[in-house]
Amino acid sequence: MTMFGALPISGSGMEVAQSWIDATGGNIANMNDLAPGNLPAAYREQEVVAAPLPSSSPATPGEGVGLAGILLGPSNGKLAYDPSSPLADAQGYVKYPSVNLAQQMVNLVMAQTSYQANAAVVARAKQVYQSALTLGS
C-alpha cells in the first residue's frame, strides 16, 4: 500500500455506499407501485452486493470494495384486496412489491453511516497529507 492508499480505499467505500443509498431510495419510492393481482409485482426490490477489490500483490490486503451487482427481490409481491382500483384483477386484487419499509430504513441508516465513515477517513487523510507537506518548511 502506498502512502496515499487510504484515499482509493475510502473512495471505493463511498461509491458503494452511494449505490446502496440510491437502491434503498428507489425501493422506498416504489414500494406502493401497483400491478394487477394476476401479474408479477410492478417493482422488484433492489439489493446492492459489494465485493472486495483484488489486491495488487499477495502480500498486501484488499484495496477497497466494489459493486459486484444488484440483486432483484421476489417478483411475487403482496396481494391486497382493492376492487375499486383500476388495476384490480377479476377477483378485485392488486399486487404490491415485497418491500419492507422498516428494513429499508435500517439499510438507509447503515448506508449513510458507511458513507460518512469513509468521508471522515478521506478528510483525515487529507489533513495528514497536508501536514506531511509542511514538515519540510
pLDDT at 35 over 80: yes
Average pLDDT over the chain reads 89
Q: Is 87 helix (H, G, I), strand (E, B) or coil?
A: coil
User: CA geometry: angle at 66 spanning 65 and 70, to 5°?
Assistant: 130
Tens of pLDDT, residues 75-106: 888 999 999 999 899 999 999 999 999 999 99
Q: How many helices (H) does the chain have, and how many strands (E)?
A: 2, 5
Residues ≥6 apart with Cβ < 8 Å to 75? 40, 41, 44
C-alpha torsion angle, residues 135, 123, 48, 20 (rounded to 10):
-170
Q: Return the pLDDT at 137.
A: 67
Q: Return the pLDDT at 27.
A: 96
Q: Return the pLDDT at 8.
A: 86
pLDDT at 66 over 80: yes
Domain limits of the chain? 6-132
Average pLDDT over residues 59-63: 66
